Amino acid sequence: MYFEFSGRKLGLLLIIGFFMASGLAIYTFVNSATNLTILTEEYLQRQTAYASYWLQFKLPQTPQVAAAAFSGTVTTSALPPTSADGQAYAVPVLVYHGEGDVGTVNMPQRTFVEQMRALKDAGWHTITMQQFTDFMQGTATLPAKSFLLTFDDGRRDTFYAMDPVLKDLGFNAVMFVITGFSLPTSGKDEPINRFYLSRSELSYMVQSGRWELESHGDADHALYDIASLSSTPGNVMTTPGGHFLSNLFWLSDQERIETPQEYAARVADDLDTSKRALQDVFGITVDSFAFPFDDFGQNYINYPGAQAELARIAPSEYSFGFIQASPAKEDFFNYPDPNTFFIKRLEPSASWSGADLLSALEDAGPRQLPYASDSFGSEWNTNWGSTGAKSDGSLALLATSRTTGAIALLSGSSWWTDYTASATADIGEGDFSLLGRYDPANDSFIACTLSNGNLLLQERRRGEQHAVASAPYTRKSGSQRSITLAIQGSAASCSAEGASVSAAVTAPPSGALGVEVWAPRPGLAKADLTHIQASKP
Amino acid sequence: MEYLRTYIDRGWWFAFFFIMYVILLVKVSTQGYLDDNAFFSIYSLFIVGYIFSRFILSYLHRKVETDDSYEPTVAFVVPAKNEEDNIYETLKRFSEIDYPLSKVEVIAINDGSDDGTLSEMERAARDIGRSVGRVEVVNWEVNRGKRHGMAEGVKRASSDIVIFIDSDSFIEPDCVRHLVKYFVDPEIGAVSGHTDVYNRDTNLLTQMQALRYYVAFKVYKAAESIFGIVTCCPGCCSAYRKAYLDEFIDAWLHQKFLGTECTFGDDRSLTNFMLRRYRAAYSAEAKAHTVVPDAFPKYAKQQLRWKKSWIRETCIAASFIWRKNLLAALFFYGYIFLAFASPIVFLHAMVWSPVFSHIMPFVYLMGLFLMLMLHGLYYRAYVGKQPWVKAVFSFWFFTVILMWQLPWALITITDTRWGTR
């Protein structure tokens, strides 16, 4: 009714419309070439993450820092290395998964910040993958309190919550990426869903210098239905929740279980695919593999040979295979050894405070000779049976209803080579042994044993145990006994109760100090270790 | 200096179109995420389409020339209750207009005031009585309501055109000429003037309302006026053709909705009665100024009343608007969808997505802000130096807060109390 279709007005509208349309066309063109939208969005998300970190964790600190500066009571962090030469003898590796309050593998950002700050304040610092490799190869040393920080799964929540912390503390970390999820070969540059980091986010991580990318498998971080070996065509019995690397697959097109050769080819192909995907996309070197679900073949359903096969296949593709270790059971530090493939990692619990993590690292770790103790604690790991400190400070060794004995190992001693050790114990029941050069990976050690009036020098090699020398001793009344084991190169000697034996042995070059109690039937053996000492020969 | 100013003004328009471009850019680049859900994707396209169409249509609104040979008699109808502060000024201005005063009739209705309104009316009547054609002061001892006052004025008026002026509104001298010029066309039954905020500089709330009023009239009413379908010729300053009013004034006076007599939204409802048979236009040159609430509770209550009457009259208009003009009707129905969808979209963006999908409402808040920025720049470019940035921010703030009034108004639609006035 009151339209004005004048040439001037329409012309102006057309001109503006033309500019807008061409502006949009230019944008669309630029965006298709550079993913401008995604990059902008990721940039905004990063800035939000940094701002959120600053608001939550930096701003509340500012008044304290300012007050401390004003009053001149700036607290300096504890001095870093405690070892005599300031060098690291072994390196711990930490592994985290995601950010969050729920789930067993998640950790709230607040807890992560507290744990990392505790390490930073105590003088701990992160190292790069290259430094770690050189250290393990023995071609370079590291200062004490070095650790490698790793994250599994390539999750977005991890990156956005943890990156500000790394940036703030000057730390760097390794992200084990599931290439099948983050870099699917569907032709699109997008992860399978927004739970996982995208190609552009990973690319930013590499460029930031704070993150290194390594492999967490391609198709093997998923669950599969595993057919039982007795399956026949038309009658396939499956168990759900099986792992890619630990089982033989059912070949549905050929209606049979795959052969070990086909298994080996499938596994090798997956390991290679994820490695090449990361190398090709980001132009980096990928030489480490974290076993998905921490399963390196032990959690098989239908293939008991998986563990041995993986131990053969994985090292042909990667230099290191990262697994997880239980700090209560074993020394989770990694000692330099060019032959080491499996790298142990500690997963800090979300319930740990910063101090908890710090003591977990500092109570463990490489120990120096001489060593002496008559009050035992968490530094003694349970290797077998049941072991634990008693209220009087002694270490109780007890066979359980299912074991014939118990073994406790001194954490941080696995790198010891030549040493003389003595132990005093109150023996309740069974044979008592002092163990040296214990190598859990190869189930090998040298033992000095008091057994029914005989003093035995024993050798255990890959699970096979036998006495190399023995001598009778006179049994005294009372249950208190002392025993001494000396190992130097391949010469070992054992003495106790006035008796003494020595012999040449075949033993691992280095290994942990331990104590064992053993009886022929389960549930009987028991002893209390009251004193132990070790020194260089 | 003049030369420089021209460039600065062009700068504002450039900023205006740049924001438009940015909005389009955001829409284009985020469309991928919205594809998953038809509802949000339709909303997103509609809201941009609707708002942009308002600006484009208002730009194409044709100016009507004043015609000195067409000078119908006009009657100002001013119902008032407790308005002793403003009523004298309101009435006084009728004698200062640029129009043959002998053709002017003034009818003031004192609707049961308990202050000095009546004496102020009588004082004004004495002062302007000699210059204008006729003055009448109607005095009701007991309050009957604004609708009764308006109807009484219409019945007592003997002029061709009835102009409703709120008791707290002031007209500019050339207002009448710019209102009546549209009545040359016999199809036109009502014309809305352009009302700006009189107490703009009181505080941030009134500054924000000044922005809203300006854009609501200049853009939104103009866009409706293009089709002759202005859905609300507001009571603060609007003209109606007396002959057409007589056809339905009694039906309007006793209008019922959901069984209760309608007590507010009288202007919107009167326009609706007019639109059934005739058309309504907007005159950007017919300027008036009105006093707006300067405190939030009062403002919120006013907005709630407006929203209730909007729901009521929109239901009614929806039944016949499609017969008027298909394109205008499309926009009309589209707007209904937008109004009711916006709280849902808000909840989805601000609560649902952050909690369940971990998507922060950046795009939503930015989109909302850019849209209001667009209005703010339009205001700045036309009105000149004003605290428009602050106004845009408070517009943003109040949009979010008052969005919730619509569902609430729907729930409490049968509660017809005024709250306070």
Q: What is the tens place of the pLDDT at every residue in B290-325?
A: 999 999 889 988 888 888 888 888 988 999 988 888
**What ipTM describes this predicted complex?**
0.76
Q: Which residue of B has its CA nearest to A156?
A: B358
* Most confident of the following: A60-74, A458-472, B348-362: A458-472
CA-nearest of A342, A366, A364 to A415 is A366
| pLDDT, mean of residues B204-209 | 89
Name B371's Cβ contacts closer than 8 Å, sequence gap at least 6.
B23, B47, B51
| pLDDT, mean of residues A96-110 | 84
Opening angle at CA A459, ends A311 and A444, nearest 5: 20
Can you give the pLDDT at residue B86? 87
Sequence length of chain A is 537
Handedness of CA A241, A319, A345, A338 (dihedral sign): positive
Judge contact between A28 and B24, C-beta under 8 A.
no
pLDDT at A424 over 70: yes
Q: Which pLDDT band holds residue A82 (cuts at 50, 70, 90)?
A: very low
**A1 at interface of B, judged by CB pairs closer than 8 A:** yes
pLDDT at A526 over 50: yes
Name A307's Cβ contacts closer than 8 Å, sequence gap at least 6.
A246, A296, A297, A298, A300
pLDDT at A6 over 90: no
Of B17, B29, B62, the CB nearest to A4: B62
pTM: 0.63
Q: Which pLDDT band holds residue A78 (cuts at 50, 70, 90)?
A: very low
| Cα–chain center distance at A302 | 26
Can you give the pLDDT at residue A102? 67
Report residue B76 as tokens.
């100002």
Task: Quote the minimal CA–CA distance from A201 to chain B in Å.
Answer: 16
The Cα-based distances of B87 to B118, B161, B213 in angstroms read 9, 21, 22
Can you give the pLDDT at residue A74? 44
What is the overall mean pLDDT for chain A? 89
Report residue B109 as tokens.
């209705």
CB-based contact B279 A1, cutoff 8 Å: yes
| pLDDT, mean of residues A82-106 | 81
B138-166 pLDDT per residue, tens: 999 998 888 999 999 999 999 999 999 98
* Most confident of the following: A95-104, A167-176, B244-253, B386-395: A167-176
**A20 at interface of B, judged by CB pairs closer than 8 A:** yes
pLDDT at A227 over 50: yes
* Most confident of the following: A427-436, B23-32, B36-45: A427-436
Name A476's Cβ contacts closer than 8 Å, sequence gap at least 6.
A497
B378-387 pLDDT per residue, tens: 998 888 877 7
Report residue B45 as tokens.
């396209």
CB-based contact A2 B279, cutoff 8 Å: no
Name B304's Cβ contacts closer than 8 Å, sequence gap at least 6.
B405, B408, B409, B419
| pLDDT, mean of residues B242-270 | 86
Q: List CB contacts (< 8 A) between A157 and chain B.
A: 358
pLDDT at A49 over 70: yes
Judge contact between A448 and A484, C-beta under 8 A.
yes
Task: Quote the minimal CA–CA distance from A28 to chain B in Å.
Answer: 8
Pairing of strands A491-496, A405-410: unpaired
Task: Quote the minimal CA–CA distance from B29 to chain A in Å.
Answer: 6
Can you give the pLDDT at residue A81? 37
Cα-Cα-Cα-Cα torsion A5, A7, A11, A13, nearest 10 degrees, comes to -20
Can you give the pLDDT at residue A162? 95
pLDDT at A85 over 70: no
Judge contact between A448 and A494, C-beta under 8 A.
yes
Q: What is the Cα–Cα distance from B340 to A354, expressed in whole angstroms?
A: 51
| pLDDT, mean of residues A60-86 | 57
| pLDDT, mean of residues B59-63 | 89
Question: Which amino acid is residue A17, in one-letter code?
Answer: G
Q: Which pLDDT band holds residue A364 (cuts at 50, 70, 90)?
A: confident
pLDDT at A292 over 90: yes
Task: Quote the minimal CA–CA distance from B244 to chain A in Å.
Answer: 20
Per-residue 3-state assignment (H helix, E strand, C coil) for B355-391: HHHCCCCHHHHHHHHHHHHHHHHHHHHHHCCCCHHHH
**DSSP at B226:** T
In the A/B pair of chains, how many CB contacts fall below 8 A? 50
Can you give the pLDDT at residue B160? 93
Q: Which phi and psi angles does A227 have, rounded to 5°?
A: -80, 145
A203-217 pLDDT per residue, tens: 999 999 999 999 999
Q: In what order do the strands lie in the sheet with B134-140?
A: B134-140, B104-111, B74-80, B161-165, B237-241, B188-197, B279-290, B169-171
Q: Which of A57-61, A83-87, B14-18, B412-416 has the lowest mean pLDDT?
A: A83-87
If phi > 0 it is left, if psi is from -120 to 50 it is alpha, else beta; for residue A409 that is beta
pLDDT at A406 over 90: yes
CB-based contact B29 A48, cutoff 8 Å: no
Instruction: Write the DSSP string, B133-164.
Output: SEEEEEEESS---HHHHHHHHHHH--SSEEEE
Can you give the pLDDT at residue A75? 45
**A3 at interface of B, judged by CB pairs closer than 8 A:** yes
Which residue did the predictor score with more confidence, B417 or B342? Answer: B342
* Most confident of the following: A150-159, A226-235, A407-416, B39-48: A150-159
**A2 at interface of B, judged by CB pairs closer than 8 A:** yes
Name residue A289's beta-bridge partners.
Answer: A215, A321
**B347 at interface of A, judged by CB pairs closer than 8 A:** no
Instruction: For chain B, state the CA radius of gyration.
Output: 22
Q: What is the Cα–Cα distance from B122 to B128, expressed in whole angstroms?
A: 10
Can you give the pLDDT at residue B2? 62
Task: Quote the minimal CA–CA distance from B286 to chain A in Å.
Answer: 16
Can you give the pLDDT at residue A293? 94
Name A360's Cβ contacts closer than 8 Å, sequence gap at least 6.
A327, A346, A348, A352
Can you give the pLDDT at residue A109? 92
Segments in B325-361 forming alpha helices (H): 326-347
**B411 at interface of A, judged by CB pairs closer than 8 A:** no
Q: List CB contacts (< 8 A) between B64 and chain A.
A: 2
**B418 at interface of A, judged by CB pairs closer than 8 A:** no
Can you give the pLDDT at residue B41? 83
* Residues 152-181 (A) with a CB less than 8 A from some CB of B: 157
Q: List CB contacts (< 8 A) between A16 and chain B.
A: 17
Q: Which of A72-86, A126-140, A188-202 has the lowest mean pLDDT?
A: A72-86
Residue given tokens 């990976």 in the structure block:
A441
Q: What is the Cα–Cα distance from B373 to B388, expressed in whole angstroms?
A: 9
Tell me the CB-side half-sphere exposure of residue B77, using CA atoms within 13 A: 27
Share of chain A above pLDDT 70, in %: 95
End-to-end CA distance of chain A: 109
Q: List CB contacts (< 8 A) between B14 and chain A.
A: none
What is the overall mean pLDDT for chain B? 87
Task: Quote the minimal CA–CA distance from B377 to chain A in Å.
Answer: 17
The Cα-based distances of B406 to A178, B338, B413, B414 in angstroms read 48, 11, 10, 14
Pairing of strands B279-290, B74-80: unpaired
Q: Which residue of A has its CA nearest to B29?
A: A37
CB-based contact A3 B62, cutoff 8 Å: yes
Q: Which pLDDT band holds residue A152 (cuts at 50, 70, 90)?
A: very high
Instruction: Write the DSSP string, A432-469.
Output: EEEEEEEEGGGTEEEEEEEETTEEEEEEEETTEEEEEE
Can you give the pLDDT at residue B343? 87
Of B20, B281, B360, the CB nearest to A2: B281
The Cα-based distances of A440 to A269, A444, A514 in angstroms read 31, 7, 11
CB-based contact B60 A3, cutoff 8 Å: yes
Other Cβ atoms less than 10 A from the Cβ of B294: the count is 14
Question: Which amino acid is residue B313, in one-letter code?
Answer: E
Can you give the pLDDT at residue A76? 40
Q: What is the Cα–Cα distance from A141 to B47, expressed in whole angstroms?
A: 64
Q: What is the Cα–Cα distance from A191 to A202, expressed in whole angstroms?
A: 11
Q: Which pLDDT band holds residue B399 (cuts at 50, 70, 90)?
A: confident
Q: List CB contacts (< 8 A) between A24 and chain B.
A: 21, 24-25, 28
Name B13's Cβ contacts closer than 8 Å, sequence gap at least 6.
B381
Handedness of CA B357, B358, B363, B364 (dihedral sign): positive
Q: Which residue of A has its CA nearest to B363?
A: A41
Q: Which pLDDT band holds residue A460 (cuts at 50, 70, 90)?
A: very high
Judge contact between A410 and A382, C-beta under 8 A.
no
Name B117's Cβ contacts closer than 8 Å, sequence gap at least 6.
B80, B81, B82, B83, B84, B87, B110
A105-135 pLDDT per residue, tens: 889 999 999 999 999 999 999 999 999 999 9
**B121 at interface of A, judged by CB pairs closer than 8 A:** no
Q: Which of A253-267, A428-442, B22-36 has the lowest mean pLDDT?
A: B22-36
Handedness of CA B62, B65, B69, B72 (dihedral sign): positive
| pLDDT, mean of residues B198-207 | 90
Report residue A265 as tokens.
């080819």
Name residue A215's beta-bridge partners.
Answer: A177, A289
